[in-house]
Chains A and B, each alone.
Chain A
Amino acid sequence: MAEVNELVKSLSQKHGKERGSLLPILQGITEIEKSLSAEIMIEVARELNISTAEVYGTASFYSFLDTEPRGEFIIRVCKTISCDMKGKRQIVKTLEDLLKIKVGETTHNKKFTLLETNCLGWCHKAPAMLINDEVYTDLDDNKVKKIIRKYRSK
């Protein structure tokens, strides 16, 4: 709890306590914690002097502000049309097989979460995915295997 308090405090010092700081603060927490727990949202509400419902209501609007527990590496595979046409389904299947989880799930060791997302802006190099902030494009099975191997050893 003390850690949570400190993180929220340091972010509000950096971004300010106005309502407009809410998103940057929630993003800062997500960067470190990977998702927003009820505890931390209560703490943010207290810090900015707004209701917890406001914090949750805002956070739940944005797909990059997760309120469910997530792994250290969040994989987001693009499922929009260009990637879909260029074999996104196979990429998801490969990832599911490698990680032994389904889309929406997190591995037991809390290392990986597998999600789908909408167009990432790399349609000319489809299929594409994000792992946290890193972009991976022109994916095929081999490439995906190599990438996951790299992250496993991180």
Chain B
Amino acid sequence: MPNDSLKRVDFIFDKDYNCKEVLYDAFKLTRDEIVEEIIKSGLRGRGGAGFYTGVKWKYAKEEQADEKVVICNADEGEPGTFKDRAILEEVPTKVLAGMALCAKVIGAKKGFIYLRGEYNYLKPKLEQEINKFTDILRSELNFDFTINIFSGAGAYVCGEETALLNSMEGLRGEPRNKPPYPTHFGLLGKPTVVNNVETLVYAVMVFKIGAENFKNIGIQGSSGSKLFSVSGDTPKSGIYELEFGMKVSDFVNEFGDGDAKAVQVGGASGFCVPRKSFDKTTIGYQGKLKGNSLPTGGSMMIFNSSRSMYNVLHNYLEFFVEESCGQCVPCRIGTSEYLENLLALSETMRLTSKCGLGQSVGNSFSSIVENFKEEMIY
């Protein structure tokens, strides 16, 4: 079957790539020119929320401060996501180069990788790569930039950028109210850019292939490609880099086991797409897409008809009950009430929760309950 919308590409893991040279050329530009190039590329954050990376860097660049900070968010805790680990394992230098590029733009001397505790085993090798890379930066590119690893300690919510900052400050990993945003008031009050691992790699790629070329990959409003972590009922589980704009139906044809009844896009905090909507749903950020489009951190879980969607939902809700930080009453109480089956609550929680955890619990809940009502009666 022809697969129109499924375009496999290989940018992220392409090893034939000299980061030093890409940086060397990029560093010939002014800071303004670099940030304009990123803005022009249309690159958006790959951590889930899809904020424009260039705009974020620009905000931080315009802040007046003695010290600024770059943080690579490697907390990767969304169920069904495992691509950041693979990037750090296979092409760490690209991530470090992305951090250096951001540091150059905003004027930071310090960078951190917030690495989830579950990935501690990566630390020794990553530290070696960091030392090698920062030496090259200093000696060959005349750029002083230190990078340290900060280990997480087992808390999904610390992937939320302000919770991450609190955690690095030695506090409970509870999200802060926003504004102020980290670009203005971040780590210990310093202007801070927090970017996902994958975003940083694509920032380097923009300079490797040029903003115009980058923009031509994918679809309008969602340029470039994206790593997808594929798991569940599939004979081909793994990590795949695909262009934005693919239809869920094409995805299922390629990766399903022939019996897919639902795809959960974006992990426990994402949305469930039932079979009848496979054709109508496109993967990309909300924008000029026809039909429904879903933003995503790249988690794609396939469920076949042998699965009880009630069990799936129950598993997600248990996850949220454990991982809610408990600051907001609706999220703290609501996540456990959900387990008691209260659809009406989802709207209240979406509106009144401080961070994306509480706001998104209702996503899975409503989309699963609405589409698989008959399986919910137990």
Q: Is the CB of A23 within 8 A of B167?
A: yes
Q: Is the CB of A121 within 8 A of B117?
A: no
**CA distance in complex: A133, B319 (Å):** 22
Within 8 A of A (CB), among B132-190: 150-156, 167-174, 188
Flag whether A21 is at the interface (Cβ < 8 A). Answer: yes
Q: A20-B169, A58-B172, A81-B301 are in contact. Are A121 and B118 (CB under 8 A)?
A: yes
Q: How many A-B residue pairs have CB under 8 A?
A: 117
Flag whether B102 is at the interface (Cβ < 8 A). Answer: no
**CA distance in complex: A133, B116 (Å):** 11
Q: A81-B301, A118-B322, A126-B231 are in contact. Are A57 and B172 (CB under 8 A)?
A: yes
Contact of A63 among B151, B153, B268, B319 (CB under 8 A): B153
Q: Is the CB of B156 within 8 A of A118?
A: yes
Contact of B312 among A81, A120, A126 (CB under 8 A): A81
Q: Is the CB of B238 within 8 A of A124?
A: yes
User: Across the interface, which residues of A come within 8 angstroms of B172, CB to CB?
Assistant: 57-58, 61
Flag whether A19 is at the interface (Cβ < 8 A). Answer: yes
Q: Is the CB of A85 within 8 A of B171?
A: no
**CA distance in complex: A19, B81 (Å):** 31
Flag whether B198 is at the interface (Cβ < 8 A). Answer: no
Flag whether A135 is at the interface (Cβ < 8 A). Answer: yes
User: Across the interface, which residues of A come within 8 angstroms of B237, CB to CB?
Assistant: 123-125
Nearest CB of B to A70, in Å: 13
Flag whether A119 is at the interface (Cβ < 8 A). Answer: yes
Q: Is the CB of A124 within 8 A of B239?
A: yes
Nearest CB of A to B25, in Å: 34
**CA distance in complex: A26, B154 (Å):** 13
Q: Is the CB of B153 within 8 A of A65?
A: yes
* B contacts with A, residue count (CB < 8 A): 51
Chain B CB within 10 Å, residue with most, of A58, A118, A119: A119
**CA distance in complex: A123, B307 (Å):** 17
Q: Is the CB of B154 within 8 A of A130?
A: no
Q: Is the CB of B170 within 8 A of A22?
A: yes
User: Across the interface, which residues of B come within 8 angstroms of A79, CB to CB?
Assistant: 315
Chain B CB within 10 Å, residue with most, of A121, A122, A130: A121
Q: A20-B170, A80-B79, A123-B79 are in contact. Are A62 and B121 (CB under 8 A)?
A: no
User: Across the interface, which residues of B come within 8 angstroms of A118, CB to CB?
Assistant: 77, 79, 156, 319, 322-323
User: Across the interface, which residues of A come within 8 angstroms of B310, CB to CB?
Assistant: none
Contact of A62 among B77, B173, B233, B322 (CB under 8 A): B173
Within 8 A of B (CB), among A96-154: 117-126, 130, 133-135
User: Across the interface, which residues of A come within 8 angstroms of B233, CB to CB?
Assistant: 85
Nearest CB of B to A140, in Å: 16
Q: Is the CB of B301 within 8 A of A122?
A: no
Flag whether B51 is at the interface (Cβ < 8 A). Answer: no
User: Across the interface, which residues of B come within 8 angstroms of A117, CB to CB?
Assistant: 118, 154
**CA distance in complex: A62, B150 (Å):** 14
Q: Is the CB of B154 within 8 A of A63?
A: yes
Digitize B113-130: 1 where CB-to-A-CB distance is under 8 Å, 0 elsewhere.
000111111000000000
Residue of B nearest to A118 (CB): B319
User: Across the interface, which residues of B come within 8 angstroms of A20, CB to CB?
Assistant: 168-170, 188
Q: Is the CB of A119 within 8 A of B80?
A: yes
Which residues of A are interface residues toward B (Cβ below 8 A)?
A: 18-24, 26-27, 57-58, 61-65, 79-82, 84-85, 117-126, 130, 133-135
A-B contact pairs, 16 of them (CB 8 A): A19-B171, A20-B188, A23-B168, A27-B153, A58-B170, A62-B153, A62-B154, A63-B155, A80-B268, A81-B232, A82-B301, A117-B154, A118-B79, A119-B81, A121-B118, A135-B121
Which residues of B are interface residues toward A (Cβ below 8 A)?
A: 76-82, 84-85, 116-121, 150-156, 167-174, 188, 229-233, 237-239, 268, 301, 303, 307, 311-312, 315-316, 319, 322-323, 325
